[in-house]
Amino acid sequence: MARSHDVVLTDRIRRIWLHAVHSGTAFPGEPTLARELRASRPAVREALVRLESEGLIHKRQGAGTAVNRAAAEITARLDQQIDNDEIIESMGRSAAMEVLEAETIALTEVQASALEVLPGSQALRVAKLWRADDAPVVLAINVVPLLDGFGIEAVDVRQSLFRLIEGLGHETVEWELAWPSAVNLEPPVSDWLEQPAGRAALTLEMVGVSRSGNRAYHATEFHAPEAFGYGLIRSVRG
């Protein structure tokens, strides 16, 4: 899936923010950013609005841009959709992913309810494991309903979840609903994560929703204890 120009520009400005955090220098103004990045002022302004909504900066008329340096302490955010590879690499560790299982299943009542389809409907189930410097840190079990005319033989199960759903005929996902929770690990999940059975771990249950409201996937992530420093940033309204 090609990244839009707006997303690329926002990422470039986010890197400038990170440089300001680590160097202690001032964050450049809008005209400077537009000139250095060869982008239009409106495009830069929209990107800055995104950074402000993420809690990374605060713009005030006539007072420059304040940089939230403490935000860099959170390596993984619950309020953002970020690839596991990016999180691992942002911590200075080497990321690797392997597919543990890939099979066609009949959806249970719970899975069907989450995806708003009939129980027993066919779906692709893929279990993937991410490692950081060879240590298992995240297990993701993704379930994608199979639409008429589309089969799993036509897709590469190693590709990202978003490319996978497109290959199976689903609409582009616009939103991801996520529910954090915790479980006591049991086999085979505990074995895959190389953790003792019964140990507590963070879980994230996610559903991808298209613009028309269709649900394209149901995913459950199991995170090895202390793998990521998950958090979120909230603006304080005095």
Per-residue confidence (pLDDT) for residue 238, from 0 to 100: 59
Residue ranges of the chain that CATH labels 1.10.10.10 = 5-73
Per-residue confidence (pLDDT) for residue 204, from 0 to 100: 94
* Alpha carbon distance 103, 72 (integer Å): 39
* Alpha carbon distance 217, 166 (integer Å): 11
CATH topology of domain 5-73: Arc Repressor Mutant, subunit A (1.10.10)
Residue ranges of the chain that CATH labels 3.40.1410.10 = 76-231
Which residues share a beta bridge with 221? 140, 204
CATH superfamily assigned to domain 76-231: Chorismate lyase-like (3.40.1410.10)
List, as one string, the DSSP characters of 106-142: EPPHHHHHHHTS-TT-EEEEEEEEEEETTEEEEEEEE
For the chain of 238 residues, list the mean pLDDT of each consecutive stretch of 10: 71 93 92 95 94 90 85 83 86 94 96 96 97 96 94 90 94 94 96 97 96 96 88 79
- Biggest CA pair distance of the chain: 60
Q: How many Å from the N-terminal Cα to the C-terminal Cα in the chain? A: 41
pLDDT tens-digit map of 23-44:
999 999 999 999 999 999 999 9
Closest by Cα among 160, 167, 106, 93 to 128: 160
pLDDT tens-digit map of 136-183:
999 999 999 999 988 888 899 999 999 999 999 999 999 999 999 999
